[in-house]
């Protein structure tokens, strides 16, 4: 289900804008000043519109578009690593998921899509300026997808928020930690995992992954998988055939998944 509250507009180069359908002039970086309701009232999904100097394609607000055009502040987790977490944690309807820190809600958007309208998602974040951006992104997904899981956001570090978390849920099917330092968080929250539940860590450097592994073992969890995912895009060559596209073959982070057995 989609709502009429948000529109997605895509440039030929793929640049994506997520536009709130307010009936007033608004200024949007890259598009200038325009009234979205006025400009889009006769443009169906799949139709094209000229705004300022740009020709744009109107698409529905699905996860890839909302993620591409999301508001950003902290470094976000993208589709490559988010998809792995969803699969390895086995997330789906009715699950109860704890996440720290929320950052810009890059990962939270994927979690909401997987849980649908029947799960519970608790997020923790000490920096209100990050949470503000994150909650704006989740406002967009909720409006666009006709609802969201039950979502509680707690301001603070995860280490100091355990009692506040327990007020909303006593056990979790999954916990995801994307933090500058994992061991103290693992020590604090691993008791909240249900039997069979899994904890995942997103670690930009390998020393963080090693310390996370040690902290999981100290907390009585069994490490199931640790490593990184390589993604190599291919495209069509100008003289025919297909080959890996030019561009960086980049690193995002090391991932670790551990289970309470």
Ligand X SMILES: C[S@@+](CC[C@H](N)C(=O)[O-])C[C@H]1O[C@@H](n2cnc3c(N)ncnc32)[C@H](O)[C@@H]1O
Q: Are strands 172-177 and 150-155 parallel, antiparallel or unpaired?
A: unpaired
On whether the CB atoms of residues 158 and 188 are closer than 8 A, the answer is yes
255 near ligand X, rule: CB under 6 A: no
Site residues for ligand X, window 97-116 (CB under 6 A)? Answer: 100-101, 103-107
At its nearest, how many Å lie between ligand X and the CB of residue 245? 25
Q: Between β-strands 254-259 and 193-203, what pairing exists: parallel, antiparallel or unpaired?
A: antiparallel
CB of 258 to ligand X, least distance (A): 18
Give, in degrees to the nearest 5, the angle at Cα 153 between 145 and 185: 120
Helix or strand or coil: residue 148? coil
199 binds ligand X (CB under 6 A): no
Residue number with CB closer to ligand X (158 or 215): 158
Among 51, 67, 77, 258, binds ligand X (CB under 6 A): 77
Q: Compute the distance between CA of residue 86 and CA of residue 28 in angstroms, rounded to an integer.
A: 33
Residue closer to ligand X, measured from CB, 76 or 141: 76
Find the shortest distance in angstroms from Cβ 56 to ligand X.
Answer: 26
188 binds ligand X (CB under 6 A): no
- Asked if 19 touches ligand X (CB under 6 A), the answer is no
Return the closest-CA partner of residue 111 out of 93, 132, 129, 130: 93
- For residue 30, CA distances in Å to 16, 33, 40, 210 come to 10, 9, 17, 42
- Minimum CB distance to ligand X, residue 96 (Å): 18
Decide: helix, strand or coil at residue 195: strand
Cα–Cα distance, 28 to 221 (Å, whole number):
47
Q: In the set 36, 125, 165, 221, which binds ligand X (CB under 6 A)?
A: 125
Query: Can you tell me which of 62, 80, 130, 211 binds ligand X, judged by CB under 6 A?
Result: 130
Site for ligand X in 158-177 (CB under 6 A): 158-159
Q: Which is nearer to ligand X, 65 or 125 (CB)?
A: 125
Residue of the chain from 62, 88, 127, 139 that contacts ligand X (CB under 6 A): 127
Non-local (6+) Cβ contacts of 260 within 8 A are 190, 193, 194, 195, 196, 197, 198, 199, 220, 221, 222
Phi, psi of 81 (to 5 degrees): -85, -35
**Looking at 180, 195, 240, 248, which residue binds ligand X (CB under 6 A)?**
180
Nearest approach in angstroms of CB 127 to ligand X is 4
Span 132-161, contacts to ligand X by CB under 6 A: 157-159
Binding site for ligand X (CB under 6 A): 74-77, 100-101, 103-107, 124-127, 130, 157-159, 178-180, 185
């Amino acid at each position: 289900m989609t709502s009429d509250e948000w529109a997605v507009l895509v440039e030929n180069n793929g640049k994506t804008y997520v536009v709130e359908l307010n009936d007033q002039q608004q200024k949007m970086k890259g598009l200038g000043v325009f009234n979205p309701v006025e400009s889009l009232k006769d443009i169906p999904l799949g139709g094209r519109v000229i705004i300022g100097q740009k020709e744009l394609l109107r698409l529905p607000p699905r996860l890839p578009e909302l993620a591409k055009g999301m508001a950003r502040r902290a470094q976000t987790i993208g589709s490559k690593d988010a998809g792995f977490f969803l699969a390895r944690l086995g997330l789906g309807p009715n699950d109860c998921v704890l996440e720290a820190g929320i950052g810009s809600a890059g990962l939270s958007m994927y979690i909401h899509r997987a849980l649908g309208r029947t799960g519970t998602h608790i997020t923790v974040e000490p920096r209100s300026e990050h949470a503000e951006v994150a909650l704006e992104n989740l406002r967009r997904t909720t409006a666009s997808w006709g609802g969201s899981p039950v979502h509680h956001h707690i301001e603070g570090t995860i280490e100091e928020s355990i009692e506040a978390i327990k007020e909303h849920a006593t056990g979790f099917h999954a916990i995801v930690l994307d933090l500058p330092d994992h061991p103290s968080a693992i020590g604090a929250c691993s008791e909240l995992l249900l039997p069979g539940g899994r904890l995942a860590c997103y670690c930009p450097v390998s020393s963080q992954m090693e310390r996370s592994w040690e902290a999981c073992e100290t907390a009585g969890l069994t490490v199931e998988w640790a490593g990184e995912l390589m993604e190599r895009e291919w495209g069509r060559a100008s003289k025919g055939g297909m080959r890996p596209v030019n561009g960086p073959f980049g690193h995002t982070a090391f991932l670790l998944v551990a289970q309470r057995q």
